[in-house]
Amino acid sequence: MNRRSRAALVLAPVVAALLAGCAAADPNPAPDPAPDRPAATATGTATPAPAPVPAPVPKDESPGRATPPGTLLVADFGGDTVTFLDPERGPFASVRVGTAPYGLAVGADGRAWVATAEGVAIVDTRTRTGLGRIPYRTDSGPVTTGEYRGGGMGIALSPDGRRLYVGVNVPDGPGVLEVVDTATRKVTATVPVGRRPFDVDVSRDGREVYATNHDSFDVTAVRTDDLRPRRHEVAPYGTEGGLGSWLKPHYAAVRADGRLLLPFEGERLAVLDPRTGRVTIERMTADTHQHGAALTPDGTLLAVGTGPIGSGDRDASLTVRTEDGTERVIPLDGPHEDVAVSADGRTAYVTGGFTRDGYWDGITVVDLEEETTRRLPGGVRPLGIAVLGG
């Protein structure tokens, strides 16, 4: 049975239940088999996740000392902080940023920009100090937590660091790309994009920005000079099932030639040419639901396999795919979400946060040459991750 057939089987009872009218939500519901669709109430709206208990902020072990190069920074989606981790010893400091931080981007000046439910937080990573928060111009509803909360998701900086682009999720509607002037720390423009912009990426020349829109099966390409959006559908399995389908785009990586790489289900790699909108499909081998994606310095694609979602999925893994399409699949222990790579390209860091149940508070460190892994505790349901420079 292929994935499209399995998705239809999963969706059928959900649709039937909605048509029949739903009872009050179970306070302890079973995990939803369609992982990228919110639990629905009788009114058809998403049920907010319960607010997490804030974790204590670790005392800074080296106050006044500059953060060393190679430190990891993670966004604590299950809390209101970002956490600094030594890649060998684990967490040594945290900074409060706002509710449910999702993605983050770090500039050459050491400032981190963090997409939270409340606004874009700014952190000086060299001194581990909060520098305030920029409110969104878009009304994304009440501040909540959980996978379907409103507010910032994907986030990226322009190559020169002068502009910041953040994808804002508006529950039950299309998302918005907000443009921030990093000098004035103000939102200067907004651009309509698709539903739930999981990821935001910028072309290497800075001329275009791309929002990967999970719930509308597309990527919105936006020229940075005139901010005109172009929609490109990326749906190698089709769009059958709509919001109830898990066969959607999640994260992208921008290749040196300007094309976007979007992994699907460990089976298909969608390669989007944003100039023409043409999508070509290449075969993948991990056979697992996939989220995070990143490129190593030599152009190797890293794709995070979250683990079983459909009946045919294999366990969690990290796919290591060279430019010629050769793949190695490194097993991971439990669900993971996003990935970053060391400056020398030898080590990958994979966050254990995951947007669904089964997440854990830490990262997996992967030696890409030896294909060995070790778990490093740290963070609170960490999602976004960056490796800090000097």
- pLDDT tens-place string over residues 38-50: 333 333 333 344 4
Q: Which helix (H) or strand (E) holds 16?
A: helix 3-20
Decide: 261 and 240 in contact? Cβ < 8 Å.
no
Give the three-state DSSP class for 227: coil
List pLDDT tens digits, range 319-378: 999 999 999 999 999 999 999 999 999 999 999 998 888 899 999 999 999 999 999 999
pLDDT recorded at residue 358: 86
pLDDT at 56: 57
Distance CA 228, CA 239 (A): 25
In sign, the C-alpha dihedral spanning 278, 281, 286, 289 is: positive
- Residues 192 and 174: beta-carbon distance below 8 Å: yes
- Give the pLDDT confidence score for residue 390 in this predicted structure: 61
d(CA 55, CA 128): 18
Q: Does residue 310 register a pLDDT over 80? A: no
Exposed/middle/buried for residue 98 (C-beta within 10 Å: 0-12, 13-18, 19+):
buried
Query: Do the Cβ atoms of 99 and 150 come closer than 8 Å?
Result: no
- H or E, element range at 197: strand 197-202
Give the integer Cα–Cα distance in Å for 341 and 292.
Answer: 12
pLDDT band at 15 (very low <50, low <70, confident <90, very high): very low
H or E segment and range at residue 112: strand 111-115
Task: State how far Cα 284 lies from the chain centre.
Answer: 20
Bridge partners of residue 179, in order along the sequence: 165, 189
pLDDT-based confidence at 29, cuts 50/70/90? very low
- The 3-state secondary structure of 321-373, one letter per residue: ECCCCCEEEEECCCCCCCEEECCCCCEEEEECCCCCCCCCCEEEEEECCCCEE
pLDDT, mean of residues 304-333: 92
Instruction: From residue 247, give the alpha-carbon distance in Å to each of 139, 291, 310.
Output: 28, 11, 10
Cα gap 220→227, rounded to integer Å: 11
Return the pLDDT at 4.
Answer: 45
Pick the CATH number of 95-210 from 2.160.10.10, 3.40.1190.10, 3.30.470.10, 2.130.10.10: 2.130.10.10
pLDDT tens-place string over residues 52-96: 444 555 667 777 789 999 999 999 999 999 999 999 999 999 999
How would residue 307 be classed by pLDDT, with cut points 50, 70 and 90?
Answer: confident
Strands 301-307 and 317-321: antiparallel
pLDDT at 357: 82
The pLDDT score that the predictor gives to residue 318 is 98
pLDDT score of 13 more than 80 = no
CA 3 to CA 246: how far, in whole Å? 10
For residues 68-82, one letter each, b for 16 or more C-beta atoms within 10 angstroms of the residue's C-beta and e for the rest, the string is eebbbbbbbbbbbbb
pLDDT per residue as tens digits for the range 166-201: 999 999 999 999 999 999 999 999 999 999 999 999
In this structure, the number of other CB atoms found within 10 A of the CB of residue 18 comes to: 14
Specify which of 9-18, 290-299, 307-316 reaches the highest per-range mean pLDDT.
Answer: 290-299
For 110-151, how does the pLDDT look when each residue is reduced to its tens digit (9 = 90+)? 999 999 999 999 999 999 999 999 999 999 999 999 999 999
Q: Quick check: 308 pLDDT over 90?
A: no
Q: CA separation (Å) from 352 to 34, 35, 213? A: 20, 16, 22
Single out the residue of 278, 282, 360 nearest to residue 319, CA to CA. 282
pLDDT average, residue stretch 2-12: 44
- Percent of the chain having pLDDT more than 90? 78
How much is the pTM?
0.87
Q: Distance between CA atoms of 79 and 314, rounded to whole angstroms?
A: 30
- Beta-carbon contacts of residue 246 (< 8 Å; ≥ 6 apart): 7, 34, 35, 36, 37, 289, 309, 310
Confidence at residue 22, expressed as pLDDT on a 0 to 100 scale: 29
pLDDT of residue 8: 42
Q: Which residues pair with 385 in a beta bridge?
A: 74
